[in-house]
A and B are shown apart, each in its own frame.
Chain A
Amino acid sequence: MKDAESNRELLLRYLDGNLLPEEQARVADLLRCDPEARAFLREVAEQAVTVADAERVEEHRRRELGARREWAGNRREALSRIGGSRTRFARWPWAVAAAAVVALIASVVLLRPKAELAIVRITELNGAVRWTGGGGRVVPALNVGRSLLGGTLEPLSADSWAELTFRDGSTVTVSGQSVLTISEYRQKELHLRSGNLSASVMPQPDGKPMLIHTPTARLEILGTQLNVEAELSSTMLSVNAGSVRVTRLADGSVAEVRAEQQVVASADRHAELTVNRRPGPVTAWQSNLPTDRLHGNWLSGPGNSNGGLRTAPMLWGDPEKPITLYLVSLSVSRDRPTPVLLTSGTKFRIRGQIESAGNVFFGFTTRHVNGGFAGKFLVERHFEVVQEAGKSLDIQLRLEDFRPQEEKLIEKYPEAFPASPVGLELFDWWCCTINEDAGLKITHVELDAGIVESNILSDDEQI
């Protein structure tokens, strides 16, 4: 009996990827020779998929419940109507799910075009991300594993991001405040109205490249790894592998951008559409306010010398119980084609003002050198009671102080999401307080290994 239990635990550790090398051979022998061990493995596999299926059906039922309440407009009447059908759902979730899959597959094959199938699945997710699907239905909170038809994805905050995977294995990561619409009829089409996107695109069928539309450009991708930043007035594209054809919408100019090259497609037809080799990185950066502003309210001072970016509120999280972030976020790459490399020993220096006590979160987004999205890092600092209003803020944060935003991703994908930001490129920077407006205003942010520690009061000594 004890042997059977220890064999079961060994198999569970094997499925968890937590075996010593000598135990691997033991598991293989066990499965080869012991039918009971194989029976247990099969049981675990069946139970795993059934648990996940039951959760999906339950989640679907909860969403339907929420949607019906909205439409009904009369809460009591909606609940009394739903009471009967809820019983049916609870008793026969398998039948509901099975019927839905039969209908979906049968309709795809027999009656409807292939486009009705789910286009993408959410493979990773963090922060507030909103989805608007077919018919304009808004889903305020998504979850990993959800399959989506065509629609619009919006990470809402500087610390939000989502990774989508298409059926052919192509992946797209949208990070920070962005608006991305996806569809797939004859070919994959993405509309990046604003924000940032990294894509690793599998080879596409002949004549059907993936298309990415921005306000100023159209990109045709046959199979590559690329990063796109889009605003109303310009689109910056950098290609890390493969090649991309760029058409500037203002005048139809076309350029081919290959690996390690980049281009800016402006709405201004008089600007040049020049493909340049991606410059080598620098290791220092200074903010240029208000030009770098992504989120926050610009407050100008006399002659702009005392101007700063004040945190602005935004709602985040569960729409039933939202959190208010008071947030400032800055672009690092806007108007700067040169990438900023994070190196060991580098420090951030942040200057500004804060008016009340509280915890402040500082963070940034990274990319791989010549690669895509590499995760976000953050650190929290507590500021004590402030005696005077408008207390000056001048702190430094070492790069080593920052921790990854999503620890579990490091375990799952250690190459794609490193544990340390050293060696990655800095993409954007942000700071925020949660649910409390501390009157935080940022006047200057810089990154430099040359910041001298002795001239600056430590953050604990500031206030």
Chain B
Amino acid sequence: MSGFVPVNRYTYKMTISEQDILRTLMKSRDRIAAVAWVVVRDAHAAEDIFQNVALKALTKEVSFETEGAVLSWAFITARREGIDWLRRHRKESTGLEPEILDLLEQEWLSETARSGEVRMEALRVCLKTLPEKSSLLLRLRYFEGNSCREVAKKLGTGLNVVYKRLSRLHQGLKECIEIRLNESEATKS
């Protein structure tokens, strides 16, 4: 349920309730975590950062007028938390300039929460269809946080082979998502 905050004696503006803020954040959880991941490149840290962002949104005295405002704030906060995390863990910055991070976040923002949610569900289905070797590669790289060199060593292959396989794997997943989304659209119509 939304609330009303008096702006002046005769005008009121609508703000989003805590429950709606939470709902918006949860629908876009993957994108917020992805923003953090681009900075910290650690999936577990990115998840922690998402939780911190959600907690801040609910406990700090910040009000939002629209879903877009929530997301915009969440992306900026996730980026800042990521930079703080790098500093605390004595790591150097990602090297991406602020203008490039801004471009990435704007493109993420331009996607609606609903379409993002549908796409992520399609991604999860596509992940389940991967052969074991591909799943293992992704698990070693992104869940266990190994560098590509470590992954190559564990798999007994060359470093360039790992880059090639990852590149094709990511591209393949993207194509799988698009096929699923098209199928879903065709079913609806």
Contacts and interface: CB of A to CB of B under 8 A. Distances in A.
Interface of A: 5, 8-9, 12-18, 24, 28, 31-32, 35, 38-56, 93-94, 98, 101-102, 105-106, 108-110, 117, 121, 144-145, 147, 167, 169, 202, 408, 411-413, 415-416
A144 B121 CA distance: 26
B80 interface: no
B90 interface: yes
A50 B173 CA distance: 12
B120 A144 contact: no
Contacts of B166: 12
Contacts of A16: 147-149, 163
Given A15-B41, A105-B55, A408-B146, 7 more contacts: A31-B96, A42-B104, A43-B174, A47-B138, A48-B46, A55-B139, A106-B22
A12 B148 contact: yes
A47 B170 contact: yes
A98 B26 CA distance: 7
Interface string B123-166: 11001000000000011011111111110000000010001101
B30 A50 contact: yes
Q: Is the interface of B mostly helix, strand, loop or mixed?
A: helix
A65 B47 CA distance: 24
Contacts of A147: 48
A12 B159 CA distance: 12
Interface stretch (B1-9, B32-40, B63-71): B32-40
A109 B60 CA distance: 11
B44 A167 contact: no
Nearest to B150: A408
Contact of A9 (B18, B127, B167): B167
7 contacts: A28-B97, A35-B107, A38-B104, A40-B171, A52-B44, A101-B54, A145-B143
Given A12-B166, A38-B107, A121-B44, A411 B150 contact: yes
A49 B120 CA distance: 11
A49 B163 contact: no
Contacts of B18: 109-110
A55 B143 contact: yes
A15 B51 CA distance: 23
Nearest to A39: B107
Among A45, A53, A411, A413, max chain B CB count under 10 A is at: A45
B52 interface: yes
A355 B7 CA distance: 86
A104 to B, nearest CB: 8
Contacts of B171: 8, 40
Contacts of B29: 98, 101
Contact of A105 (B58, B90, B174): B58
B26 A47 contact: no
A28 to B, nearest CB: 6
Interface string B86-108: 00111000011101100110011
B83 interface: no
Nearest to A18: B148
A139 B20 CA distance: 36
A49 B47 contact: yes
A157 to B, nearest CB: 22
Contact of A51 (B51, B143, B146, B150): B143
B43 A46 contact: no
A48 B52 CA distance: 19
Given A44-B170, A45-B34, A45-B37, A9 B51 contact: no
B121 to A, nearest CB: 6
B6 to A, nearest CB: 25
B31 interface: yes
A416 B89 CA distance: 10
B106 to A, nearest CB: 10
Query: Considering residues B123, B142, B166, which has the most beta carbons from chain A within 10 angstroms of its beta carbon?
Result: B142
Contacts of A411: 147, 149-150
Contacts of A101: 26, 29, 51, 54
